[in-house]
């Protein structure tokens, strides 16, 4: 099964685009495993799971358990998808997206080590917008505090992710978040049909 991932900073429209894709019936639904299901489904001798364990063991950041749960569950989505046949699976909140949490955990595992070791999607849709657009959208979501520094970090992170994954030979398609959700979802479907 072809695996695509949606990634990008908070406010670019990942979830809204995913919802339109899901409603189209043209993709396999994104599994939503609980943590125990993910932990039981990952092989015990798995190298990437060992890397996640090392991240968690050496992390110094806040909310380690929450972020570890996201990493394990995102990884398990890839394991499940590789076992299935059928329409492409578009992963919203996959490993590329979770790399941002790895960076914030201040672990001994470097982000480049994470990107090199992680199972990669067949194609990455990097949804992008400028800082002003992201600030405006996050403010509309109810964020009273200034998220400027978080958005700066996210923009740098996703720019680095895009280049790191391209170096691995992963097809990266940049999507303009200022276009309509419908238009972007339709474009993603067209790209996926071309790859199937």
Domain ranges across the chain: 3-195
CA distance 151 to 39: 32
pTM given for the model: 0.88
Q: In what order do the strands lie in the sheet with 171-176?
A: 89-92, 3-7, 123-128, 171-176
Cβ distance 131 to 114 under 8 Å? no
**Rounded-to-integer distance, Cα 154 and Cα 159, Å:** 8
- The pLDDT score that the predictor gives to residue 111 is 85
Q: Which CATH number does the domain 3-195 belong to among 3.60.10.10, 1.10.3720.10, 3.40.50.300, 3.90.950.10?
A: 3.40.50.300
- Structure tokens of 21? 């894709």
pLDDT in tens, the chain (196 residues): 899 999 998 889 999 999 999 999 999 988 888 888 888 999 888 999 999 988 888 887 667 778 788 889 899 988 988 888 899 999 988 898 888 777 777 788 888 889 889 998 999 999 999 888 888 887 777 765 566 777 888 888 888 888 888 899 999 999 999 999 999 999 999 999 998 7
Q: State the pLDDT at residue 104.
A: 74
Q: What pLDDT is attached to residue 146?
A: 62
pLDDT value, residue 39 = 87
Q: Cα–Cα distances in Å, from 14 out to 51, 59, 102, 185?
A: 27, 27, 19, 10
Give long-range contacts, CB 8 A cutoff, 24+ apart: 113-120.
Answer: 113/51, 114/51, 114/55, 115/161, 115/164, 115/165, 115/168, 116/164, 116/168, 117/47, 117/48, 117/51, 118/48, 118/75, 119/48, 119/75, 119/78, 119/82, 119/95, 120/95, 120/165, 120/168, 120/170
Distance CA 162, CA 36 (A): 31
H or E stretch at 89: strand 89-92
Q: Looking at residue 59, what is its pLDDT?
A: 82
């Amino acid at each position: 099964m072809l695996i695509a991932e949606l990634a990008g900073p908070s406010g670019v429209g990942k979830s809204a685009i995913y919802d339109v894709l899901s409603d189209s019936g043209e993709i396999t639904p994104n599994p939503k495993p609980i943590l125990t299901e993910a932990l039981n489904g990952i092989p015990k001798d798995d190298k990437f799971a060992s890397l996640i364990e090392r991240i968690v063991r050496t992390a110094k950041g806040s909310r380690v358990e929450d972020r570890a749960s996201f990493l394990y569950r995102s990884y398990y989505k890839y394991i499940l998808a590789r076992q299935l046949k059928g329409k492409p699976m578009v992963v919203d909140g996959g490993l590329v997206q979770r790399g941002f949490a790895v960076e914030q955990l201040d672990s001994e595992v470097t982000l480049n080590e994470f990107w090199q070791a992680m199972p990669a999607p067949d194609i990455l849709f990097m949804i992008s917008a400028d800082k002003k657009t992201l600030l405006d959208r996050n403010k509309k979501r109810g964020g009273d505090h200034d998220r400027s520094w978080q958005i700066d970090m996210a923009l740098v992170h996703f720019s680095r992710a895009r280049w790191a994954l391209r170096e691995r030979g992963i097809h990266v398609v940049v999507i303009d978040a200022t276009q309509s959700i419908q238009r972007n979802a339709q474009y993603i479907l067209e790209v996926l049909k071309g790859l199937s």
